[in-house]
Amino acid sequence: MLMEDIWETLRHPPATPLTPIPDPICADLGVRLWVKRDDLLQMGNDEGFLGNKWRKLQYNLLAAREAGEQVLLTFGGAYSNHLAAVAAAGKLFDFRTVGIVRGHPPREGNVTLRYAAACGMDLRYVDRATYRRKNEIVFLEELRAQYGSCYVIPEGGSNALALEGCRALGEELAGQCPERPLYVATACGTGGTLAGVATGLPPGALALGFPVLKGGFMTEAVAGFIAQAPAPVEAGWRMINDYHFGGFAKFNPELIRFINEFKRQYEIRLDPVYTGKMIWGVLDLIRRGYFPEGSNIVAIHTGGLQGIRGFNERFGSLIL
Ligand SMILES: *Cc1c(COP(=O)(O)O)cnc(C)c1O
């Protein structure tokens, strides 16, 4: 693709499909389920830049270009999908990238960090105390002194422009699924995606967030993002705290079996950290009668596919 075409696609991405999931349980209980295929929102078949990270970076990349910045600087843990996405986007859109990584470099490295480095990201490891300063202005000034002028994206990418991108996603899927009542499910890490999507949904729709971290603090985080939204939020939103499987990146054999079976049945790959848990949760809620008859349920595939390789590297090729 020509460089100008790549930027044009970023400005006006094609709508991603809604794939129906004809699980018999849906027919039995009179509800319909779709997956919103943001996993297909890729450029050049790259597994790093897709899903909600695509939506969250979209307007940030445009703003960085507009401002004439040549370096993107961001923060993340060693397995962060966000770091991988910024690295991949830097390569695609011709930015230098700097990743401030929490903790020591893993002895054998890992797939995510090797991938980020291969995309050209300059990785800098900092101890946890330093990492905690990631939102401090003084720290950002120190980093700028070192790396020059740069466009800073917060950990997980959840800033105002990221929420804009996710709002567009909410509007897009609501337009594709005009029937009501409408429920929209998404996995939550920082809560930015859920907040953004909720701002794009029509009145009466309900956005459901599935936190992948334990602790129940996500409601506050999402409320904080929504309070900053430029327009009042008409849809409802709610957290479903029962499907984190023990915490971030925790899993059990049933979850792995489910992910592999889902791929066999529907040819949709789910990742074990975010989308696998969320879709498991949605199907479990359907089975328990959470959704009234006639409900239309859209589960957002937020991507995370690059995480599968790292997971398999750590735990031994569990995911097919
Ligand atoms: C980062 C990520 C999330 C979490 O998004 P937030 O906006 O931080 O809540 C969800 N799903 C996938 C696949 C992700 O990579």
Tokens of 123: 């990785």
Q: Is the CB of 16 under 6 A from ligand 1?
A: no
Could you tell me the distance, in angstroms and rounded to a whole number, from the CA of residue 188 to the centre of ligand 1?
6
Q: Does the Cβ of 112 fall within 6 Å of ligand 1?
A: no
Main-chain dihedrals φ then ψ at residue 74, nearest 5 degrees: -150, -175
Tell me what pLDDT residue 50 has. 97
- For residue 251, give the nearest of 268, 219, 274, 227 by alpha carbon: 274
Beta bridge partners of 98: 73, 122
> In the chain, where does DSSP find H-type helix?
3-11, 24-29, 51-66, 81-93, 111-118, 128-131, 137-147, 160-176, 192-199, 218-227, 253-266, 275-287, 306-315
Q: For a ligand 1 pocket test, name from 35, 41, 225, 274 the mutation site with the most ligand atoms within 8 angstroms of its C-beta.
A: 274
Measured in degrees and rounded to the nearest 5, phi and psi for residue 179 equal: -80, 150
Tokens 């696609």: give the residue.
9
- From 33, 129, 49, select the one nearest 304 (Cα to Cα): 49
Pocket test for ligand 1, best of 52, 55, 222 (most atoms within 8 A of CB): 52
Contacting residues for 64 by C-beta, under 8 A, at least 6 apart: 72, 95, 151
Q: 41, 193, 199, 319: which to mutate for ligand 1, most atoms within 8 A of CB?
A: 193
Nearest CA, atom 2, ligand 1: 189
Omega before residue 211 within 30° of 0, cis: no
Model pLDDT, residue 107: 82
Residues sharing a CB contact under 8 Å with residue 68, sequence separation 6 or more, in sequence order: none
180: number of Cβ within 10 Å: 14
- What's residue 280's pLDDT? 98
Give the C-alpha distances (Å, rounded to integers) separating 132 from 71, 141, 234.
22, 15, 35
Cα distance between the two ends of the chain: 31
Q: What is the pLDDT along the chain (320 residues), one digit of tens a residue?
A: 788 999 999 999 999 999 999 999 999 999 999 999 999 999 877 889 999 999 999 999 999 999 999 999 999 999 999 999 999 999 999 999 999 999 998 887 899 999 999 999 999 999 999 999 999 999 999 999 999 999 999 999 999 999 999 999 999 999 999 899 999 999 999 999 999 999 999 999 999 999 999 988 899 999 999 999 888 899 999 999 999 999 999 999 999 999 999 999 999 999 999 999 999 999 999 999 999 999 999 999 999 999 999 999 999 999 99
Q: Answer positive or negative: Cα dihedral of 218, 79, 91, 121.
A: positive
Could you give the strand order of the β-sheet that contains 122-126, starting from the edge strand earlier in sequence? 122-126, 96-102, 71-76, 151-152
Three-state DSSP class for residue 74: strand
Structure tokens at 284: 């479990």
Cβ(275) to ligand 1 under 6 A?
yes
Q: What are phi and psi of 185, to 5 degrees?
A: -110, 140
Q: How far apart are CA 150 and CA 166, in angstroms?
A: 24
CB of 210 closer than 6 angstroms to any ligand 1 atom:
no
- Site of tokens 């900053």: 228
Q: Are strands 296-300 and 32-36 parallel, antiparallel or unpaired?
A: parallel
Q: For atom 13 of ligand 1, which residue has the closest CA? A: 304
β-partners of residue 35 are: 19, 299
Tokens of 248: 């971030």
Alpha carbon of 100 to those of 124, 137, 141: distances in Å? 5, 15, 14
